[in-house]
Structure 1
Amino acid sequence: MGYFKRLKNVSDFAFDYSTLKKRFEKMVIEEEKKKERKDEKLLVDLYECIQLHNTRPASDDFLSVCVPFLIKVALNREGNEETRKEVEIALLTLSNVGQYTHIEKEQFLSEINGIIKHHQAHHNLTQLAYQSAWQFFVSRLFYDESLEDIIVNELHFGREAASEMKELSKSVSWKRKKEEEEKKEEKGALIIGRWLYSIEYYLSHCKMWNGEHSELIGCIVKMFQASRDNYKEIHVNCLYLFRKSIEKKNVKIEDLLNEGAIDLCSDEMKRSILNVGIAWECLLFFLNVSMRLKEEDDDETKEAKRKELKRKIYEKMEEKGYEDSFVSFYGVILFLHGEYQDDDLSLNVEDYFANV
């Protein structure tokens, strides 16, 4: 139950207050109190049952014991199928240790670093296990910015996330028929959704940027295009990531332009007039484009580059008939403003089109 809840990102708040959780916790305490040799397999099973269902942050005392046990399981590099499954569940459980939970680096850094590097060299983990290892690691950025260099430049998160999503996309029936839409969700699509979730963490808390990230933006563009018809959640999450990207100063507008994100967002505005959430994300995306493009620079070279970029984006918008698209949306701006109660929505909307 916990495995599929985590894979599908489903929360069950009732578990936090259930007698079942209390029973599991009592069993953990009883086992840990034993002076003779403890049943580590039982403890790991109990830790996984509790942590896979948790919706609230676990206590520091629980995690200080639970995390080392789970990492010990995840370090097992035997090649048989049973071991790979045990490693997958251990890493999936660790990925549920949220970003707001502080864990000392000494408890995980060298081990998780080693797990990721070993997989990059030998491809010993399942696709879900590898994604889960990254999700656990990236979530630690919330409390420790010193992990940035390892994540970005040593382990190459941008390159790896893009590569994994490309591989997973091969197993997804993007063009499935309408009558198949209600059938069982494909595991590849679910893991892609988890990668997008990890990328959101990454964009929110990582200030570093390197050349690999344009590949990551390009991959999100491809996921956005592929998921449009039959995978709405992935489609909307990709759009949300475009907006998160433009909000971050370390993400270059050139990457969003060259990889096609700006084209896609402008196209989406023309076809999404009935979807308030998508309209909202597109408008916020272009509001942030506007604000970023108006940031003048004292460096003459950088300033010339900014002006050239503004010109390119203006020409693209003009070529696509963006003015007509904007006019069609202007009537719903007040509705969106009332729906979301955000004072920033109407700020500079017209200014973008007048001064870009």
Structure 2
Amino acid sequence: MDEKLLADLCECYLLLTCWHPYGFISTICILCLLKVASNKEESDEVKHEVEMALLALSNSGYYEVPKELHLNEIKEIILHHQEHQNLTRLAYQRAWEFMIIRLYWDNSLKEVIVNELHFGRESTKELEELMKCVDWNKNFKEMSKEEANEVLLITGWMKTIKLYFDLCGLRNEEFVGLIGSIVQVLRASRCNNGEIYVECIHSISKAAINRAVKVDDLLKGGAINAILEEIHRSTLDDEIAIECLRFFIDISRRLKDKEKDEKEDAKRKKTKRKVFEWMEEEGYEDCVENTVRFATLDFVKV
């Protein structure tokens, strides 16, 4: 009977319990917390309640939840924020995290995420705004509370983006901008924030595997250049070296695989030429060729 108490209990349950019975999650927690998160009042108290509800929802895990129980509400929450900027930055990131995790069970959500809610555009904008709020010459311990919060938000966005590339296989014209923003964060965090840096590398690696992301997107977004820079670093650890190697193996495979459609195959060959011409100009061709051959693959020119 006490809706506020029920919402508080649902938040505590989702945030503090590792295992959740499916029925309890779908029929009580998600419905209750989506109702709280849908409150559009502008008071600080309501914003805090909405933030906590979305924080708990994003922690609900990979349980299959039917679209009819969440889709309209979470869409409206995201769309309303895009128009009115009513959510806190943390709440907005967690709303997206909850939405994208649902892709694990329902791939049809990709149309909503890409074409209606524009995840590529929105995550790019959030990363660019957050980047401006952080002094990247400081390490995490030296930062103010506000800066530290922004860094944690960037980490959250990078994890969500990695999940997006892993689960969403739909072509998106916003990929180039998003990849460019990831590259900016990668370079900024390289020397003083290992967690964000690693998430950036993993996100770019996931993008290279995703067939909806064209190799040309990776080239234009600066990902190929950034990964080449990583390979040249003398302090590169084993985990990152493996991810960089995997990136070029995936790029190599994709540039060699013929497309069934003649126009698409012509585009592939054109991109392949562009990649090699750019590598020759930058002096990277031998480095990449040797790296990929080391992995028993041959990076053959057109």
Matched with 2:48 is 85
Alpha carbons of structure 1 residues 178 and 87: separation in structure 2 relative to 1, 3 Å: closer
SS at match of 2:136: coil
Aligned equivalents of 2:145, 2:192: Cα separation in 1: 12
Summarize deviations over 1:2-34 as a string: whole Å, max 9, x none. Answer: xxxxxxxxxxxxxxxxxxxxxxxxxxxxxxxxx
- What TM-score do the two structures reach when normalised by structure 2? 0.92
Q: Which runs of 5+ in 2 are unaligned?
A: none
Matched with 2:257 is 295
Aligned equivalents of 2:171, 2:266: Cα separation in 1: 22
Alpha carbons of structure 1 residues 48 and 272: separation in structure 2 relative to 1, 3 Å: farther
Aligned equivalents of 2:235, 2:280: Cα separation in 1: 20
Matched with 1:265 is 227
Matched with 1:5 is none
Matched with 1:347 is 296
Answer with 305-314 or 103-112: which moved more: 305-314
1:192-231 to structure 2, matched below 5 A, reads 192-231=154-193
Matched with 2:11 is 48
Aligned counterpart in structure 2 of residue 317 of structure 1, from 229, 254, 279: 279
Alpha carbons of structure 1 residues 105 and 224: separation in structure 2 relative to 1, 3 Å: same
Summarize deviations over 1:242-279 as a string: whole Å, max 9, x none. Answer: 11111111111101001111011111100055411111
Instruction: Give the Å deviation of 1:102.
Output: 0.8
Instruction: Compute the RMSD of aligned alpha carbons.
Output: 2.4
Summarize deviations over 1:198-252 as a string: whole Å, max 9, x none. Answer: 1122112212122122211111111111111211111111111111111111111
Instruction: Give the Å deviation of 1:136.
Output: 0.5
* Preserved CA contact (<8 Å) 1:165 1:219: yes
Alpha carbons of structure 1 residues 43 and 316: separation in structure 2 relative to 1, 3 Å: same
Q: How many residues align?
A: 301
Instruction: Give the Å deviation of 1:312.
Output: 1.9
2:171 counterpart letter in structure 1: W
* Preserved CA contact (<8 Å) 2:183 2:222: yes
Q: Percent identity?
A: 46
- What TM-score do the two structures reach when normalised by structure 1? 0.78
Matched with 2:217 is 255
Aligned equivalents of 1:219, 1:315: Cα separation in 2: 24
1:81 counterpart letter in structure 2: D
* Preserved CA contact (<8 Å) 1:273 1:329: no
Summarize deviations over 1:68-113 as a string: whole Å, max 9, x none. Answer: 1111111111111111011100001000112x20112121111111
Instruction: Give the Å deviation of 1:39.
Output: 2.2
* Preserved CA contact (<8 Å) 1:151 1:157: yes
* Preserved CA contact (<8 Å) 1:272 1:278: no
Aligned counterpart in structure 1 of residue 58 of structure 2, from 95, 106, 109: 95
1:276 counterpart letter in structure 2: D
1:16-165 to structure 2, matched below 5 A, reads 38-56=1-19, 58-63=20-25, 64-98=27-61, 100-165=62-127
* Preserved CA contact (<8 Å) 2:124 2:178: yes
The yes-or-no answer on 1:281 pairing with 2:230 is no
Aligned equivalents of 1:298, 1:113: Cα separation in 2: 36
* Preserved CA contact (<8 Å) 1:272 1:279: no
SS at match of 2:154: helix
SS at match of 2:170: coil
Instruction: Give the Å deviation of 1:355.
Output: 4.5
Answer with 130-139 or 224-233: which moved more: 224-233
Answer with 222-231 or 244-253: which moved more: 222-231
Aligned counterpart in structure 1 of residue 198 of structure 2, from 236, 261, 264: 236
Aligned equivalents of 1:89, 1:151: Cα separation in 2: 23
Alpha carbons of structure 1 residues 191 and 355: separation in structure 2 relative to 1, 3 Å: same
SS at match of 1:207: coil
* Preserved CA contact (<8 Å) 2:170 2:212: yes
* Preserved CA contact (<8 Å) 1:223 1:238: yes
Alpha carbons of structure 1 residues 133 and 182: separation in structure 2 relative to 1, 3 Å: closer
Alpha carbons of structure 1 residues 42 and 268: separation in structure 2 relative to 1, 3 Å: same
Aligned equivalents of 1:283, 1:141: Cα separation in 2: 28
1:70 counterpart letter in structure 2: L
* Preserved CA contact (<8 Å) 1:181 1:230: no
2:151 counterpart letter in structure 1: A
Aligned equivalents of 1:77, 1:298: Cα separation in 2: 49
Answer with 255-264 or 173-182: which moved more: 173-182
SS at match of 2:100: helix
* Preserved CA contact (<8 Å) 2:172 2:212: no
1:192 counterpart letter in structure 2: I
Q: Which runs of 5+ in 1 are unaligned?
A: 1-37, 334-345
* Preserved CA contact (<8 Å) 1:165 1:192: yes
Matched with 2:207 is 245
